[in-house]
Structure 1
């Protein structure tokens, strides 16, 4: 992909960047009851960049406890239909959870844009959701219940995968602590105070299936109490009333999941998945594969895919430069502090320029009474001076090299490198490469050459 070409200087300076731990956060992509979800980046050694999603918690103890629960459970999940958790940490003002970033959309956006979802697509998505739910229900024998299966928590990637997210209230069934869930998907028995069981998740999947087949909300009302009354009434029309392509067999599956009595529903997610697959076979519906679903998505969301690809390319360009500039500032500060510390312990110490060195040598040679001793002291200071000055560029460029260049050469390479960074920010990548090349020739630093290689890869050697 032709990354960075569409990045303007204005765009580079106006990203809403913040840092959470070692992560660079670039965009708010979601917000829920317990916190916010951000798109973020991690830059590691060798300028390797990884795009991630970061969820931050609200500050109240109730939400922090749920957040900690999500971190402990989701970090151990390993399933292709479940969003993977990589890290957990705390900043000064919030806890955060680091997850895989899904390039794609949630089921809500999918339903809004596709409208009449083909039956084979419907079966593909539901089968993948059920695979994830089966894994959760059987995880470590803990009888977990997700409790929050809804359109926003089902993610669909551009490559055709389907993943379940958000495990903040995923807890064992019939526990002392029994969070409610999203009201439009809460089963009748929970509203009546009987608590969640795994059969409650079957109800949630039934609501999802009904909404996918009709492109409508199953329960809507003026407020929570109105919604509760409608759920408890269970006055539900079959999907076929709104979608003539829905067969009687599919109606039966959906309405079974939406039974008011939990024991009348499918006894497990495994049993529901078996029935889904058996019905597909009976109706002679050819199974869809992930590659087929990916093509379907590409046909319906081509502009949306381009938009996200462009956003991510712009962010990747920005965080690369942001990381370099941050490294420059951090290392310069460290070196300045070290020099300041040295000055405070030895007031006569300072960093010499080449002109200063010449003057100092001339001044020293005129001191006949202690010339030899003073020259030794000055030579030692020059050696220290060259070491510290050389260190500045070595650290600024994020490297450690075994043999330090001369102070004058290193300073020149540093200036050329910074000029290249400024030109890259202005999208003048051709000239930027020239400055990086000269800096690399002077300093002979591998990482500068890596930057040049990356620019050549993205723009070609003649751009």
Structure 2
């Protein structure tokens, strides 16, 4: 943690997003105006009402351990009477879900670039014994250079195995849906789903139904099919390997872990080290001026303080011990 930054040093500039438990504000450091951060304010009352005390602490404990170019850089947490706050680097380019829709057809390089960024982030988490468990394009944010970074660590678990149904339905591995004991190999399944989406457009399973039980049936039983126009055999091979329904046989699930994925012919000649050092750059960058203008235009100055509107108030006495480490 960077102990030099204090909450009073932060000056709000624009509201840049709303999450389940609060909002995210772009803030400047008054003592160093060139230094900008994202400040996520999480309502304590809402955390209690939704019984998310454990999840919010898991996120803090995980973030404290992480330092990697493909993961959002954590700075510090604060708290006051109403909120706990997460201060991180500011990633202003929006999420990958929206970016891939804005770009349209991704080039082969761009798919590899995004996929490799995910592989490096997940590899780093797994080396620390952390399962991510909610990998999807919405949880990858872009900076204004077009680099992608993993965010949102509330679903993580630091353990070798778990049984908990956790994640986003369309990206869940079969063993999670079936309630079996699973390992961090579930993250490689989700990586495969993301890659399928990058290359093929729709999701591999469930794009033809709104019924969650039918989605789950497809994930467990239906064979993986590729569009007839996809000719890249290496792309088909790596996605099929990552989305093997048997976690024991899944690409990345063996003793070599992510090395097995990085050595796959699909990534032949891709410079993973260059991606880490940022000498390999994204072909596509978000439009910084346009995005900043939209945020500034849509931010109500009256709501820009670091407090926000009234929330649900739990009944009876409230135990705030869960927030003591913030």
Partner of 1:215: 201
Instruction: Kindly indicate whether residue 217 of structure 2 is the aligned counterpart of residue 229 of structure 1.
Output: yes
Cα distance in structure 2, aligned partners of 1:250 and 1:204 = 15
Greater C-alpha Rg: 1
For residues 49-448 of structure 1, the aligned pairs below 5 Å read 50-56=36-42, 58-60=46-48, 62-139=51-128, 143-175=129-161, 178-220=164-206, 221-238=209-226, 241=227, 243-244=229-230, 246-266=231-251, 267=253, 268-275=257-264, 278-281=265-268, 293-294=281-282, 296-298=283-285, 301=286, 304-311=287-294
Cα distance in 2, alignment partners of residues 38 and 242 from structure 1: 42
In 1, the alpha carbon distance for the partners of 2:107 and 2:139 equals 21
3-state SS in 2 of match to 1:194: coil
Contact 1:52/1:98, CA 8 A, preserved across alignment: yes
- 1:337-364 deviation per Cα after TM superposition (whole angstroms, max 9, x unaligned): xxxxxxxxxxxxxxxxxxxxxxxxxxxx
Residues 201, 48 of structure 1: CA spacing in aligned structure 2 closer, same or farther, 3 A cutoff? closer
Structure 1 pair 132–286 and aligned structure 2 pair: CA distance change class (3 A): closer
Q: CA deviation at 1:158?
A: 2.4
TM superposition score normalised by structure 1: 0.55
Of stretches 99-108 and 42-51 in structure 1, the one that deviates more from structure 2 is: 42-51
Q: 1:96 to 1:205 in 2, by over 3 A?
A: same
Separation (CA, whole Å) in 1 of partners of 2:121 and 2:249: 23
Question: How many Å separate the matches in 2 of 1:89 and 1:73?
Answer: 16
Residue 176 to residue 206, structure 1, CA distance change in 2 (3 Å) = closer
Q: Deviations over 1:47-101 (max 9, x none)?
A: 6653324152532263121011101111220101000111112232332212111
Distance (Å, rounded) in 2 between the aligned partners of 1:286 and 1:87: 32
Deviation at 1:218, TM superposition (A): 2.4
> Does the Cα contact within 8 Å between 1:214 and 1:242 map onto a contact in 2?
no
Structure with bigger helix share is 1
Deviations 1:164-218 (A, max 9, x none): 1111111124556735111111100011111431110000000000000011122
Contact kept in structure 2, 1:106 and 1:154, CA below 8 Å: yes
Distance in 2 between residues matched to 1:197 and 1:88, nearest whole Å: 30
TM-score, normalising length: structure 2? 0.76
Residue 44 (str. 1) matches residue 33 (str. 2): no
Q: How far apart, in 2, do the equivalents of 1:264 and 1:251 lie?
A: 16
User: What is the total number of aligned residue pairs between the two structures?
Assistant: 285
Q: Contact between 2:163 and 2:176, CA under 8 Å: does it hold in 1?
A: no
In structure 2, runs of 5+ residues without a counterpart are 1-5, 307-326
- Cα distance in 2, alignment partners of residues 68 and 191 from structure 1: 25
Show structure 1 runs of 5+ residues with no match: 1-19, 324-463
Please give the secondary structure, in 2, of the residue aligned with 1:201: helix
From the superposition, tell whether residues 98 and 177 of structure 1 become closer, same or farther in structure 2 (CA, over 3 Å): farther
Q: Contact conserved, 2:15 with 2:295, CA < 8 A, in 1?
A: no
Q: What is the CA-CA distance between 1:163 and the residue it aligns to?
A: 0.7
Task: Name the CA distance, whole Å, in 1 between partners of 2:201 and 2:141.
Answer: 17
CA distance in 2, matches of 1:184, 1:144: 21
Please give the alpha-carbon distance, in whole angstroms, between the structure 1 residues aligned to 2:233 and 2:290: 40
